[in-house]
Amino acid sequence: MIKSFKGQTPSIAESALISETACVIGDVQIGDRSSIWPGAVIRADCDVFQAGLRTRIGSNTHIEDNCVVHATESIGDNVVIGHGAVVEARRIGDNVLIGDNATVLTYVEIGDYCIVAAGAVVTEGMKIPAGSFVAGAPAKVKGRLSDKQIATIENTCSMVAVLVAEHRKDGF
């Protein structure tokens, strides 16, 4: 479902793939080659940051099944938000992997090239520096990303992009 809110209608790149069971509400902009999978909800209907009711999602960014993205200002390019994650962050940089069932609370800022481990709970207002690996509940920066972890981000984005192309062929 694509729905307007307060006169603002989602703007979705023609090359983006949106599941018919996803829900995108309000002033949401979704970039080229991005995907929103079944059961995902993206709502730009709450002005938490006094910046207007808007959410910007970059290119080649994939929000997997049953995620909730609410009141988030921006999600960068080449991001994968894993199944069941809840994201209310202020900003997520480029080349970020947020693991399945992670929770990222309000006012959080995540730098470029970061991994938030599955099940992590990133507490309100946390600022995660670029290149960090974050895990735990509550989440803590556990260290810098290794070359292998950086490759994991890139490979995951590439894998999902291939999956998007396959689904598009099947009329998703």
What are the tens digits of pLDDT across the range 125-146? 999 999 999 999 999 999 999 9
Q: What is the pLDDT of residue 48?
A: 54
Q: What is the mean pLDDT of residues 114-122?
A: 98
Looking at residue 49, what is its pLDDT? 52
pLDDT at 102: 98
| Residue range 7-65, pLDDT digits in tens | 889 999 999 999 999 999 999 999 999 999 999 999 988 765 555 668 999 999 999 99
Query: What residue segments make up the domains of the chain, in order of their start?
Result: 2-169
Proportion of the chain above pLDDT 90, given as a percent: 78
pLDDT of residue 170: 82
pTM: 0.92
CATH 2.40.50.180 given to domain 2-169: no
- Spatial CA neighbour of 73 closest among 88, 85, 55, 86: 55
Q: What would the pLDDT profile of 147-156 be if each residue is shown by its tens digit?
A: 999 999 999 9
Range 90-100 average pLDDT: 97
Which phi and psi (to 5°) does residue 123 adopt? -75, 160
pLDDT at 7: 87
Mean local confidence (pLDDT), 72-88: 95
